[in-house]
Structure 1
Amino acid sequence: MAKKDVIKITALYERLSRDDEQQGESNSISNQKKYLEDYARQCGFKNIRHFSDDGYSGTNFNRPGFTALLAEVEAGHVDTVIVKDMSRFGRNYLQVGFYTEVQFPNKGVRFIAVNNNVDSSKPSDNDFTPFLNIMNEWYAKDTSNKIKSIFRSRMQDGKRCSGSIPYGYRREAGDKQTLLVDEEAAGVVRRIFELVASGIGLKEVARILTADKILIPSAYFEKYYPENCRNHSYHEPYTWNSTTVGYIIDRQEYLGHMVLGKSICDNFKTKKRRKATEDELIIFRDTHEAIITQDLWEKVQRLRKRKPKKLPNGTYTHRLSGLIFCADCGGRMSYSSPESKHKNGGKEYDSDSAFQCSNYRNVYRDCSSHFIKTSALEAAILRAVQVVSQYVIENEAEFTKQLQTQWDSQQTETVSIDKKALTTAQKRIAELDILIKGLYESNMTGKIPERQFRKLINQYDEEQLTLENKIAEMEANTEQTLAKKAEANRFIALVKRYKDITELTDAMLYEFIEKVVVHSATGGRTIYRQQQLDIHFNFIGNFLPPMPQITEEQRIAEIQAEQLARQEAKAKRSYEKQQKKKAELREAAKTDPVAAEKYEELLAKNRERGRKYREKRKAEAALNPEVAQKQKAKSQEKYERQHAKVKLSRKELVEQAKTDPEAAKELKALRAKEAAARARKKQKEEERMASDPEYAKMMLERRKEYDRRHTAKRTADRLRLIEQAETDPEAAERLAKQRAYSCEASRRCIEKKKSKTA
């Protein structure tokens, strides 16, 4: 049994846009349906089915009714498509032509536009159809331009055309123009700006707001102002993201300004909107209450421009990232972290944390490393802030005067450099014009092949285009430089807010510093390495207070003194560490035989080291009398310093012992302790002298030298006292006491000898 033929449908398509509603009832959906049904019945079409789109523009073919119609066409279920006129089908002549001239004929679908007498079954009657499509599109374009003009005119009059309002504001019912502060949301806005101003990144701000369970703007409007809420499609009401935070801190409305025309639709067909440029924005200042201050806004925008370069692993960054620039190529310097170098542990060095030019390893850019340690950068910035702040506080009037002079000089220098580069670029463009003209003449006369002509023309054209872009950029930079003014009062207020700076917090860093320009270092990898840093402050630029000039010799002397101080400090730390280790080992040796053995080995090692050191010093002194003299003076100075220190503390104790019994006991115990120590020392010396002839010889020589110096000193002191006694009664009294003491000592010595002989 043969299958029955499937009766295909006759598709009646109706469309009505919002603009068409203004034309009255003639184009309404119901009227279109009745009109098309009457036409279909009169012409004998069967199996009628309606496809309608109410409120959809003809320039957009993404309509539900039209999409359903196309699906039936693709499935082969449609025999005829009937519309009232071509404008109901669409107002994009290219797409309308594609459907009516290509797709429908390929599917065997007949197309009829009743009022335009268009019938695809009669090709000879359709010659005017493309012009109808163009006119329909022109109508849509003209309508779009008129609507844009109306909206633009309203915005230029200061009237809001959008129903949405910024997060942090509200409006009264019936008044779409006046913005009032919503204190709850405004507090969140202020907090966002303050967090960003303190140096916290947008992602971290979003994480903080999410952790604190603060409603996102869409959820907030839906809860408190549902009549103003447009976006109901969000995943979580408390999950913030960096895009939302960035959108908030970019809105000038929070300064109290009305900003209109923020997006523009360039093509009425695609309906795609783009962000308006600064020149295209319509801004009315101070139209409503501000939520944040101008200073806070400017600080946040400076930090937004900083935008540190993202590292491959996305984890290692530094608070100076985005502030450090190369003096030669102008590129941002990249941060090298110890964490990235020592991921698996290992010893870290100060030089592991550093900045270097990001173009250093770029094969297409010729620039040196400009390596500088992070610690050196931070120390230099802190010192610069301290010096400039102190100068401003102490010389406020002089600072303002000097700043203006220095600012004008720097601007003149910058503009002069830019003008030279601009003149060079313009001259090169003129040269290229002459070269291009010559090429054309050579090509026309056949002196140069066509292939070479095209190649050279393309090269010259590309170079000219690059130069033209560069010239436009330089002209814009020159205008900005000339327009920029120093703001001494704002910097003075900033300095007064932060007095007595001892450390630079993140907030202070971003408030004071605009950028730091790093020059190439000189002096190589030595202690004489030096590197120029141009530290540009916010509001005042690269200001340099009057500083005392030092010569190269003075600089080298300071470096050497600093190096010597570091070496001495290192030696002191090493000595203290050794002494601590020695004391711990000596204490353990009292009860542990193994520790006692190690302690004796340590003592023997130290004695051997001391012997070699003495031999070395003795050899140096024998070869050079000046060295011998210096060694002697240094030893004497050390002895006198130690003796004076001990003598001073002992003298104080002796004075206290005269009146304080406790001090007297302490003095007695001290003397007994010293006597015991001398006895132990003497015993050890005697034992070592008996076993070590070299040591015995050295000790005898030392004792003789000590006796000689002691006798010479006592003789000199006695002669000086005899001379003073001739005119000074107190000196005469001291001399008499010394003589009596000497006589008594001689008497005791004689008696002691007699007792021994007896």
Structure 2
Amino acid sequence: MTNQIKVALYCRLSEEDRNKQSESDDSNSIQNQKSMLLQYALEQGWEVYNIYSDDDYTGADRRRPAFNQLLEDAEKRKFNIILCKTQSRFTRELELVERYIHGLFPVWGIRFVSIVDNADTANKGNKKSRQINGLVNEWYLEDMSDNIKSVLTDRRKNGFHIGAFALYGYKKDPDIKGHLIIDEEAAQIVREVFTLFSQGYGKTAIARMLNDRGVPNPTEYKRLHGLRYKQPTRKNSTLWKYFAISDMLCNEMYIGNMVQGKYGSVSYKTKQNKPRPKDEWYRVEGTHEAIIDRELWDKVQSLIEQKAKPFSVGTIGLFAKKTRCMYCGYTMRSNKQTDGRRYLQCSNRHVSKDACIGSFISVPKLEQAVITELNRMSMAYLDKDELEQNVTFNNNLKEKQEALKSTISTYEKKIAEYTKGIRELYLDKVKGILSEQDYLDLSKDFVTQKERLEKLVADTQKQLDTLERKMENGDNRRQLIEQYTNLEHLDREIVEKLIDYILVGKKDPVTKEVPIEIHWNF
């Protein structure tokens, strides 16, 4: 007696086709796909292993959670067949067609079938048609991306708001698409921030005042008002921070000017964005009602310009954006003591009473610590035989590489566990075991933890990519260290070249030492 053939059903709804009643509901299109696939599997006598469903994802998005779970389960041979409505529902990328449908699936013993376009890897005769479908889908993605960009660029140039969410202080006009109207509740806070700054209050002080009153920050405000706003989950994520105040005070949107296009996509195949030069931004004046009058705006900009003058004319702070708090990870800010000396301090400590225990160090002391450590390393390193240096270098990097890969693997396993838990809860909801509200309550923590881990995976992958580039470039430490031995002082160029970042702690009350952890660029 042969084993029962198990089939995995994969459904996907693209963002532009969505038709949802609420965030937790499947779209009609997804439901139709499920019905079609279930009926087909029943007619073939196949046992349904699981239904994998991605709602609001494009065919070029490789971060689809159900899609990646499907691939993981396929590699583990949990089923024999993958069934889709069309090949494009699985992917629109020719690269993935070749990698999985024509490459790995046959190795794993997985048959791929799509109903509408008759793709079937059991039929070797239609391989070329599958490849042509993949190529056509690839062209479709590129053309669609160009068309969308053209339309959005035209609307931006004409001053229409493009974006899922309005800037804090505004909301989308329900009657005119692309027009913003004032959200009076949030606008009051915006006016207060500008007024306080014009009266001499600092950005950190303003953030602290808002936090002491329990005023939700812009991202939390969106969430509280029912907007489907996604943000990385982190400690104190509902608090106002220095940078939120800083960004608000220099945003021309608050005087009625539409400013967009600050970031642009890297490629139509990814959702990653990169900053665009300021002269490439789209700026149209007088597109909506101003929250801040021109007189107050000009006064605030004048104060910002005065406060933003560098520590010494024409220079930038020695450790600017290089030092981070050892306890909360936030970038430390430079301040000036009454005796004229510069020191670095974690601004998060003053944002809220329990946000961070604080880190603090004077710039001269940190400079001396860096020079001392650099000289110590040069003495120890340059005495070593070159072959021994290279072996040590490679071994150290390989150990770090394995550690980072292991960390990513651990995170991904936990993500898979949360994904499985969410899916099981959803199935219980569909079966009527859980009510809609119970499902939302129970799955909320799973979703939060899953998003947190996905952020950690992305951050760790960046570290791994940087490390692997170092391994490819080889050991260049000798040249660097020889160039900067016996230093007495640092300058900004040296700091940029040698230092990735520095973690600084709080002075030990007994030893009087400040914990310092230097992460070098070599």
The alignment's TM-score, normalised by the length of structure 2, stands at 0.51
Q: Does the Cα contact within 8 Å between 1:8 and 1:77 map onto a contact in 2?
A: no
Deviations 1:144-165, CA, capped at 9 Å, x for gaps:
2222222222222222233533
One-letter identity of the residue aligned with 2:239: T
Q: Residue 681 of structure 1 aligns with which residue?
A: none
CA distance 1:304–1:254, shift in 2 (3 Å): farther
Aligned residues of 1:186 and 1:291 also touching (Cα < 8 A): no
Greater helix proportion = 1
2:275 maps to 275
Which of 276, 299, 323 is the equivalent residue of 1:296? 299
Report how far residue 57 of structure 1 moved: 1.3
Q: Secondary structure at the match of 2:278?
A: coil
Alignment of 1:15-164 (within 5 A): 15-19=12-16, 28-29=29-30, 32-33=33-34, 35-36=36-37, 40=41, 44-49=44-49, 50-123=51-124, 125-164=126-165
Code of the residue aligned with 1:317 in structure 2: it is N
Letter in 2 for 1:93: L
Alignment partners' CA distance in 2, 1:169 and 1:18: 25
Letter paired with 1:256: G
Matched AA of 1:153:
D
Q: Taking structure 1 as reference, are residues 248 and 95 closer, same or farther at Cα in structure 2, changes over 3 Å only?
A: same
Letter of the 2:11 partner, please give it: E
Take 1:261 and 1:354, find their aligned partners in 2: how far apart are those partners? 37
Structure 1 pair 306/209, CA: closer, same or farther in 2 (3 Å)? Answer: farther
Read off the aligned partner of 1:14 and give its amino acid letter.
C
Structure 1 position 254 matched with structure 2 position 254:
yes
The answer to whether the Cα contact below 8 Å between 2:334 and 2:343 also exists between their aligned partners in 1 is no
2:335 — aligned with what? 317
The answer for the alignment partner of 1:479 in structure 2 is none
1:9 aligns with 2:27: no
Which residue of 2 is the match for residue 230 of structure 1?
229
Contact 1:190 1:292 in 2 (8 A): no
Residue 263 of structure 2 aligns with an amino acid whose one-letter code is S
SS at match of 1:271: coil
Cα distance, 1:186 vs. partner? 3.9
Cα deviation digits, residues 392-448 of structure 1 (max 9, x gap)? xxxxxxxxxxxxxxxxxxxxxxxxxxxxxxxxxxxxxxxxxxxxxxxxxxxxxxxxx
Contact 2:14 2:56 in 1 (8 A): yes
Report the CA distance between 1:59 and its aligned residue.
0.9
Q: Distance in 2 between matches of 1:76 and 1:10?
A: 11
Q: What's the counterpart of residue 480 of structure 1?
A: none
Match of 2:245 in 1: 245
Equivalent residues, number: 325
What letter corresponds to residue 13 of structure 1 in structure 2? Answer: Y
Q: Runs of 5+ in structure 2 lacking a partner?
A: 20-27, 312-316, 326-331, 346-361, 372-522
Q: Which runs of 5+ in 1 are unaligned?
A: 322-334, 341-352, 363-758
TM superposition shift of 1:200: 5.7
Amino acid at match of 1:100: I
Match of 1:668 in 2: none
Task: Tell me if the contact between 2:172 and 2:179 (Cα under 8 Å) persists in the aligned partners.
Answer: yes
Aligned-residue RMSD, C-alpha: 4.4
CA contact (8 A) 2:217 2:238 kept: yes
Higher mean alpha-carbon deviation, 184-193 vs 125-134, is at 184-193
Counterpart code for 1:255: I
Letter in 1 for 2:140: Y
C-alpha displacement at 1:58, in angstroms? 0.8
Cα distance in 2 for partners of 1:10, 1:354 equals: 63
SS of equivalent residue, structure 1 residue 12:
strand
Task: Kindly provide the amino acid, as one letter, of the partner of residue 9 in structure 2.
Answer: L
TM-score (norm 1): 0.37
Q: Tell me the SS of whatever aligns to 1:317.
A: strand
Determine if contact 2:263/2:274 at 8 Å carries over to the other structure. yes
CA apart distance, 1:266: 3.4
Per the alignment, do residues 40 and 164 of structure 1 end up closer, same or farther by CA in structure 2, a change over 3 Å counting?
A: closer
Cα distance in structure 2, aligned partners of 1:275 and 1:192:
26
Amino acid at match of 1:17: S
Q: CA deviation at 1:237?
A: 8.5
Tell me how far 1:249 sits from its aligned partner: 1.9
Q: Secondary structure at the match of 2:279?
A: coil
Point out the structure with max Rg over C-alpha: 1
Q: Measure how far apart 1:258 and its partner are.
A: 2.0
Identify, as 1 or 2, the structure richer in strand: 2
Q: Percent identity?
A: 28
Matched to 1:230, the amino acid is: Y
CA contact (8 A) 1:215 1:237 kept: no
What SS does the aligned partner of 2:280 have? coil
User: 1:8 touches 1:47 (CA, 8 Å); kept in 2?
Assistant: yes
- Farther off after superposition, 170-179 or 245-254: 170-179
Shift of 1:283: 1.6
One-letter code of the match for 1:66?
A: F
- AA aligned opposite 1:257: N
